[in-house]
Structure 1
Amino acid sequence: MAPSPPEIFDRALGRRWLDRAWARAGDGGGADFLLRRAAEDLADRLSLVKRRFALAADLGTPGPHAAAALAAGGQIDRVLRFGPTRSSLGAGDYLRAIGDVERLPLADGRFDLVVSLFALQTVNDLPGALIQMRRALAPDGLMVAALLGGDTLTELRQSLTLAESEVLGGAAPRVAPFVDVRALGALAQRAGFALPVVDLDRVPVRYLDIVALMRDLRAFGAANALADRSRKPLRREVLGRAAAAYAERFSDPDGRLRATFDIVWLSAWAPHESQQKPLKPGSATARLADALKTRR
């Protein structure tokens, strides 16, 4: 039996944060600017794929943004949406259900397209989730996912770590670890996908102060759900020192604070015999050295 993946996130707590945020905000999703941006980007990416999809699945995206973009694009006959919680399920003229992206109740080879926005960065078993998405696709089916990664919230992480270290003599994890951009394509290949493509959209957002940033994170349902988090509330003196460190290191000339959000995009295909294949080693008909020679 394969060992269980490490528990990085308290998934039940994460769902409670998400449900609470969407229950308060309704379909607006509170601080949903990243979702709106990603949904628009998703629509643009799919418009470049000259294909019609009979059945598409939106897996784990909080809010109706992705499913609405799929339905409006005119390329998809039917959309099935698996929302992570009841409050974040949203409305819309498509099939809806509550489902966990780590345990998808999907039949093999059922879908021509699967998408997921901002769900995969908080799973404990990312390779396992990708394998499930791969199995749900029909041959030559397309997967498109966006997740927060790279240097997302690096400013907040550094400021909180510095403040807790100075005030308390040690720091508890308060900002989630994010997937490395370079590793995502390899993970997709391990999951059985073909032709993976990874790219990054860096979104700088400016805030009046650190409290406004934290308020947006809570409204997005992105409060601390790390399994190894501190159970003690953030002390006022720690927050004050973190705010000062943030302003010292990451403020613009007008005094506003910068916050980095790296949206990492992954697209890949379920294998099919019609797809391009890499050449076998040793099958080249010309030597690289000859191609690089210059005429004197």
Structure 2
Amino acid sequence: MKTPILTDTKALTRNRARAVAMPAPALFLHEDLRDEIKERLTEVNKTFTSVAIITGFPVFWRDAFPQAHIVAEDEVLALEPCAHDLVIHAMGLHWANDPVGQLIQCLRALKPDGLFLAALLGGQTLHELRACLAEAEATVTGGLSPRILPMAEIRDLGGLLQRAGFALPVADGFTRKVHYRDAYHLMHDLRAMGEGNALTARLRHPTRRAVFAKAAAVYAQSYAVADDRIAATFEMIFLTGWAPHESQQKPLRPGSATKRLAEALNAPEIPLPATKGEG
């Protein structure tokens, strides 16, 4: 069965271009991720000399890493095999129609013992807006349409790293709450982020104003915070993996331990009582 195409890549590219052309693009999440990535790299005992960054915002990330090779968010990435010791996938993997394919391409582009870092939005992102739009559309029109990208949970993303073949895979993250005047302000910011609706199955005609008015009212009632503002959740997830190399730590084979766990912990060993049938 053919895998459904979730993202309209032409619409996504258009949304990115429209965002950077705005007088004040909302790139604060990219700023957070840039700072977090740089801090994480300082904790790695390794100097990186050949960096590639996959991004839909090339100017921003080129300013952050002036020597990096900037790669567009295409289905087939413009990466040379074994050419880089660091590959960063910056805020685009949540839109990928084939995320495992993207990870495999990044792995192939790494030299042995090269590092991969991805920063993307996770499943809790915009859960408030998702719920309010669904309630409003169902109330006003009697139906539902795809409006917010379904994003993966952190536990699933860690599994994708393993499927792609990375060594020492780690998935972690944090949640950021952002306050807005109202739902209209939030939706304007999403447009300025380049994170507007680019789903293939999205409506292709204008939404009735009554839907947005109802969603804004539900949002204000359900997710109000101080100063008559509303809260929006952005879950930021980081994926880390290494290209396999013989120098890396490897798990021991089952049954190869030479000491009991009780000895290592300096604790008494208490045998379990025998069950019926054991003798």
Give matches, 1:5-44, under 5 Å. 5-25=3-23, 30-44=25-39
Taking structure 1 as reference, are residues 269 and 61 closer, same or farther at Cα in structure 2, changes over 3 Å only?
Answer: farther
Residue identity (%): 44
Shift of 1:180: 1.1
Question: Which structure 2 segments of 5+ residues have no match?
Answer: 271-279
RMSD between superposed Cα atoms in Å: 1.8
Q: For the pair shown, which has the larger CA radius of gyration, 1 or 2?
A: 2
Shift of 1:241: 0.9
Counterparts of 2:269 and 2:246 in 1: how far apart (Å)?
39
Counterparts of 2:152 and 2:244 in 1: how far apart (Å)?
24
The answer to which of 280-289 and 134-143 deviates more is 280-289
Which residue of structure 2 lines up, in the alignment, with residue 75 of structure 1?
Answer: none
Give matches, 1:1-296, under 5 Å. 5-25=3-23, 30-71=25-66, 78-82=67-71, 99-288=72-261, 293=268
User: 8 Å contact 1:21–1:219 — kept in the other structure?
Assistant: yes
Q: TM-score, normalised by structure 1?
A: 0.85
Question: Which structure 1 segments of 5+ residues have no match?
Answer: 72-77, 83-98
Counterparts of 1:260 and 1:105 in 2: how far apart (Å)?
33
User: 8 Å contact 1:134–1:270 — kept in the other structure?
Assistant: yes
Shift of 1:55: 0.7
Task: Give aligned pairs, total.
Answer: 268
Counterparts of 2:63 and 2:46 in 1: how far apart (Å)?
18
User: 8 Å contact 2:135–2:215 — kept in the other structure?
Assistant: yes
Counterparts of 2:170 and 2:269 in 1: how far apart (Å)?
33
Counterparts of 1:140 and 1:61 in 2: how far apart (Å)?
26
Secondary structure of the equivalent of 2:215? helix
Secondary structure of the equivalent of 2:5? coil
Taking structure 1 as reference, are residues 275 and 242 closer, same or farther at Cα in structure 2, changes over 3 Å only?
Answer: same
- The letter of the residue matching 1:51 is K
Structure 1 segments, 4+ long, off by >6 Å, are none
- The letter of the residue matching 2:30 is L
Q: TM-score, normalised by structure 2?
A: 0.90
Counterparts of 2:205 and 2:259 in 1: how far apart (Å)?
65
Shift of 1:173: 1.1
